[in-house]
């Protein structure tokens, strides 16, 4: 699979998108950068990563019209691929904080930004961007962030890690289109089960907040097929929340 290794760029997601407009790229093309000057995160945030210490990369995955309403299957597949690699390296207490932050204990070690290109209700390709904190030791101003090295107590070989991640991601992503679309009650088979099995704070009472309810207690039950978080609230009722609607309060300062 084609790999493009850049010393620096604005954002590997943005770079890959630009390249795709200029020329044909083989499926699975991976772009990595030693440093990003405008790394992008979820909800319009940025992504900061110390130069030469971590992994910041994006992968192109083409589809032959993957149903857009099943987009959350992509999040599940990508999260689980990363979890499998970090488990194999014995990084402690790996989980997925909905929708797709990868944590070690209560600390975020990896962020994922998936950008989908759509055409008549189908996803034609996705750009899967991954920022993994590998050997960075200090995270000033980010008390809920850590790296694999901090958590495992040893530095890791970044090239070897990238090989393993590429392989695991390719395996999960290329299996997606051969899996049948789900029937009601709409669960994505074993992918859904495996994702929920690794969901951070599933089954434990947690603090949440929404614009209309303010702060409240609830228990994560899982996710629905649209990727909404299912939370049992105080009134013994399960409600589904979209990504922009709810915030889970977690991390060292919220415990
Ligand atoms: C998040 O948790 O907010 C998602 C962060 C995603 C960061 C990665 S780094 C590689 C790729 N390029 C970007 O600009 N963002 C993603």
pLDDT digits (tens, 9 = 90+) for 92-131: 999 999 999 999 999 999 999 999 999 998 999 999 999 9
CA angle 13, 55, 80 (to 5 degrees): 80
**Do residues 191 and 115 share a domain?**
yes
**Do residues 61 and 162 share a domain?**
yes
Ligand 1 centre distance from Cα of residue 230 (Å) = 25
Listed residues 175, 197, 219: the one ending a domain: 197
Q: Is 120 left (phi over 0), alpha (psi -120 to 50) or beta?
A: left
- 255 lies in a domain? no
**Do residues 121 and 214 share a domain?**
no
**Do residues 23 and 55 share a domain?**
yes
**21 by DSSP, 3-state: which?**
helix
The range of the structural domain enclosing residue 220 comes to 205-249
**Do residues 31 and 61 share a domain?**
yes
Counted domains in the chain: 2
Query: Is any ligand 1 atom within 6 A of the Cβ of residue 100?
Result: no
Residue ID of nearest Cα to ligand 1 atom 16? 129
pLDDT digits (tens, 9 = 90+) for 128-160: 999 999 999 999 999 999 999 999 999 999 999
Q: Among 56, 97, 100, 134, which residue has the most ligand 1 atoms within 8 Å of its CB, making it the best to mutate?
A: 56
**Do residues 61 and 101 share a domain?**
yes
Two structure tokens written together for 141: 């101003």
Which atom of ligand 1 is the closest one to the Cα of 43? 3
**Do residues 145 and 177 share a domain?**
yes
Residue 176: CATH number of its domain: 3.30.930.10
């Amino acid at each position: 699979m084609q790999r493009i290794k850049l010393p620096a760029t604005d954002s590997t997601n943005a770079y890959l998108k630009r390249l795709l407009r200029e020329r044909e790229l083989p499926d699975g093309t991976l772009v990595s950068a030693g440093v990003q000057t405008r790394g992008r995160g979820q909800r319009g945030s940025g992504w900061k990563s110390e130069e030469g210490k971590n992994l910041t990369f994006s992968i192109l995955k083409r589809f032959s019209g993957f149903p857009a309403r099943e987009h959350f299957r992509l999040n599940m597949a990508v999260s689980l691929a990363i979890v499998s690699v970090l488990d194999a390296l014995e990084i402690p207490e790996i989980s997925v904080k909905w929708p797709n932050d990868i944590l070690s204990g209560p600390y975020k070690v990896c962020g994922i930004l998936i950008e989908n290109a759509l055409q008549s209700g189908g996803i034609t390709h996705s750009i899967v961007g991954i920022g993994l904190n590998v050997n960075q030791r200090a995270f000033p101003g980010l008390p809920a962030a850590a790296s694999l090295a901090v958590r495992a107590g040893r530095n890791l070989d970044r090239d070897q890690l990238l090989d393993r991640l590429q392989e695991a991601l390719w395996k999960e992503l290329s299996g997606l289109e051969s899996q049948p679309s789900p029937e009601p009650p709409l669960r994505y088979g074993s992918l859904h089960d495996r994702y929920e099995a690794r969901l951070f704070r599933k089954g434990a009472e947690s603090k949440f907040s929404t614009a209309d309810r303010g702060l409240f207690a609830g228990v994560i039950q899982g996710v629905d097929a649209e990727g909404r978080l299912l939370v049992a609230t105080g009134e013994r009722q399960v409600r589904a929340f979209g990504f922009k609607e709810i915030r889970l309060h977690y991390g060292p300062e919220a415990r």
